[in-house]
Copies of this chain bind each other. A is one copy, B any other.
């Protein structure tokens, strides 16, 4: 065992830069090929290093998976934070914008990975377990805050936010499974009509 990182965290040198680069490449590969039958050798060959290096930089497959899940989660949340909200948009329009972002074909691999990780997390796999905590609550709070800020009753807003989140996830799963974008979009429009009232 000759593996020890030169500086202990919180300092970016060539080591951590390389590590971050490998991690990003790993997430890309996993988003495209799945996490279920991932092997260090296969991943290494795909991103151009030996499996030895993955162990070197991440300690073990388990820890690598933890980092992959965490990074994938952060990417997912960035979709929300990158929303450019022009003033004057109705809540329904904001929701439409977010929906279009989430269902962009470019993110399909990432979304598949999300459901795949959910499946693993529901089985208590440690690398995915931390996702379960934030799977609902992390998304609920900003949504609730938005509705309450618009003058809604907090308790009702919480139920509505939870409902909206669940519906988006359900329709996303539908879209990934069937690929029927028109049908799923129509169902989403119907939901927005119910949710924000007819227009």
- Could you tell me which A residues sit within 8 Å of B by CB distance? 33-34, 36, 112, 115-123, 125, 132, 135-137, 156, 158-160, 162-163, 165-171, 173-174, 176-178, 180, 183-184, 186-191, 194-195
Contact = CB atoms under 8 A, between A and B. Distances in A.
A57 to B, nearest CB: 25
A191 B170 CA distance: 14
Contacts of A189: 159
A161 to B, nearest CB: 8
Copies of this chain, complex-wide, total 2
Top 5 A-B residue pairs of the complex, sorted by shortest distance between their CB atoms? A166-B170, A119-B119, A170-B170, A116-B119, A162-B187
If over half of A's interface residues share one DSSP class (helix, strand or loop), that class is named, otherwise mixed; here it is helix
A104 to B, nearest CB: 17
A178 to B, nearest CB: 5
Given A115-B118, A178-B137, A194-B195, A187 B163 contact: yes
A118 B173 CA distance: 9
Contact of A167 (B33, B167, B186): B167
A112 B123 contact: yes
Given A122-B176, A163-B188, 5 more contacts: A36-B36, A36-B120, A162-B186, A166-B170, A169-B169
Contacts of A125: 36
Contacts of A33: 123
17 contacts: A36-B119, A36-B120, A115-B115, A119-B119, A135-B173, A135-B177, A136-B174, A136-B178, A137-B178, A159-B186, A159-B187, A165-B170, A166-B167, A166-B174, A167-B170, A167-B191, A169-B169
